[in-house]
Structure 1
Amino acid sequence: MTRLHEDVSMAKTEYGVVLLHQVTGKYWQLNKTAEVILASLSEGQDVAGAATALAARFDVTPEVARRDVSRLLTQLRANGVVVG
């Protein structure tokens, strides 16, 4: 299961969520689309499940949703924001 790294905290905003890595001081502002993806992954969904949730909520094709989920997950992992 994908989850936030233990050193990362999250705060919801009207625009999505903000993630703060408490050790490095880096932060990321994620839009509503990325918020849906992160929530789905944190709830135990895999890439396909998160893509399905994204396509259901926003006007995107399943293929575009899957690509967007994969890209976001790759970036978050590379920056140590999520594990799993």
Structure 2
Amino acid sequence: MLKPSPDVVLTKNQDAAVLLDKRSGSYYRLNPLAVVVFERISAGRSEDAVVTELQTRFPDDRERIPGDVARLVAALRSAHILVAA
């Protein structure tokens, strides 16, 4: 299971969302779909559960979603935004 690093803050407004790593000072701009993934995983959902939810919401992109989610999660783990719980 993954969770956000305690040093990470998500800030959203109507136009954008940004993750700020207070430890490093780095920030990451997220698109709306990436925000959904980050929020669901932060709430304790598994990567597979998030993929299933997105495939239900966006059936036309069903084949692409698993890879997109996997790449996003890998990037967030690499940046220490998501860490093992």
TM-score range, shorter chain: 0.7 to 0.9
TM-score normalised per structure 2: 0.85
Deviating above 6 A after TM superposition, structure 1's stretches of 4 or more consecutive aligned residues are none
In 2, Cα distance between equivalents of 1:54 and 1:27: 25
Once the two structures are TM-superposed, the CA of residue 16 in structure 1 deviates from its matched residue by 4.4
In 2, Cα distance between equivalents of 1:16 and 1:49: 25
RMSD of aligned Cα (Å): 1.5
Q: Which residue of 1 aligns with 2:82?
A: 82
Once the two structures are TM-superposed, the CA of residue 13 in structure 1 deviates from its matched residue by 2.1
The answer to whether the 8 Å contact 1:9/1:21 transfers is yes
Q: Which residue of 1 aligns with 2:14?
A: 14
In 1, Cα distance between equivalents of 2:47 and 2:9: 22
Cα separation, partners in 2 of 1:83 and 1:67, compared to 1, 3 Å: same
Map residues 62-73 of structure 1 onto 2, 5 A cutoff. Answer: 63-73=63-73
Structure 1 unmatched ranges of 5 or more: none
Q: Deviations over 1:32-62 (max 9, x none)?
A: 110111122122221211111222333411x
Q: Which residue of 1 aligns with 2:61?
A: 60
SS at match of 2:64: helix
Aligned residue pairs: how many?
83
Once the two structures are TM-superposed, the CA of residue 15 in structure 1 deviates from its matched residue by 3.5
Once the two structures are TM-superposed, the CA of residue 9 in structure 1 deviates from its matched residue by 0.8
In 2, Cα distance between equivalents of 1:10 and 1:72: 16
Structure 2 unmatched ranges of 5 or more: none
Cα separation, partners in 2 of 1:56 and 1:14, compared to 1, 3 Å: farther
Q: Which residue of 1 aligns with 2:49?
A: 49
